[in-house]
Amino acid sequence: MKWVKGVAGCVLLIAAASGFSQRTYFGFDKNGYPGDDLLSALRRTFAYTGYWLNNPPGMSNNPWAGKREVVRAAGFGFLVLFNGRLDAQLKDRDAAGLGSEDASSAVATAKQEGFPAGAVIFFDQEEGGSLLPEQADYIGAWIAAVGRSEYKVGIYCSGIAVPSGSKTMSTAQDIEGRFPEAKLWVWDDRCPPAPGCAVPAKGLDLAKSGFGRAMVWQYAQSPLRPEDTAACQQTYAADGQCYAPGLPHSPPTYIDMNVSRSPDPSHGR
């Protein structure tokens, strides 16, 4: 998963010494499926994984399709993901209608994949900054339609504030204000507060993401963004990717890293 600069802009760990008392769980996500053979090795570090319901960003197919039972049997919880449309795909179109249409597709695919009622489907909002009117219409219609189904609604979005008129605002702030019913999966890989491509033994406080009610914090991405990760650049590989701990460096093993208070943030098992 990658954040686009937009037109508008885990293993159980008990955190004691770090000053917070909640258990935190680490997980990974990536656009490409890592392969059945790598799941057991990844499970040694991570409690859950992202799982795409449609084609991930930049891909013409969905390599995760049909893999839910394999992933579940390997012991993973889930971050169920639906890739939303970019603003260029919404301009001069019925954005709300597209949102309802895409929500129907997300719900149908979640059922087909076997995700249980009550699972949270995270809408992937790739572009950052305040939402443009058509983006708000599209996302609002998607949220409303999924909310009428047996599934619950979440949003993956940037927690990094960017200029928005006379002030600064992050996508997460905008969405939190517009759609308070949506669960938040916030991305912010800036070091600090992010630790870089690392799985801290003492856990990681989600409040450091800047959004205390966030369900998930994505704190490392592949590849790194040098402008915001200079202080933790040494935790990434020489090629700039974040690789799963203890595994050979290869395309199947570079990942994004997340932390949550749940080993199954989407309740998808």
pLDDT truncated to tens, each residue of the chain (269 aa)? Answer: 544 444 333 333 333 333 445 789 999 999 999 999 999 999 999 999 999 999 999 999 999 999 999 999 999 999 999 999 999 999 999 999 999 999 999 999 999 999 999 999 999 999 988 999 999 999 999 999 999 999 999 999 999 998 877 788 999 999 999 999 999 999 999 999 999 999 999 899 999 998 988 999 999 999 999 999 999 999 999 999 999 999 999 999 999 999 999 999 999 99
Write the single-letter amino acid at 44. Answer: R
Structure tokens at 200: 């801290």
Contact 48, 76 (CB under 8 A): yes
Q: What gap in Å lies between CA 244 and CA 159, rounded to an integer?
A: 24
Residue 155's nearest CA partner among 95, 216, 104, 199 is: 216
Provide the token pair at 173.
């702030």
212: tokens are 């205390």
Are 245 and 199 within 8 A, CB to CB?
yes
Distance, CA of 27 to CA of 262 (rounded, Å): 10
d(CA 185, CA 127): 14
Distance CA 75, CA 66 (A): 16
Alpha-carbon separation of residue 219 from 93, 107, 117, 137 (angstroms): 34, 28, 29, 28
Please give the single-letter amino acid code of residue 31.
N
The structure's pTM equals 0.90
The residue ranges of every structural domain in the chain are 12-260
Distance CA 44, CA 155 (A): 27
N- to C-terminal Cα separation, the chain: 22
Instruction: Say which CATH topology domain 12-260 has.
Output: TIM Barrel (3.20.20)
Find out whether 52 and 104 touch, Cβ atoms under 8 Å. Answer: no
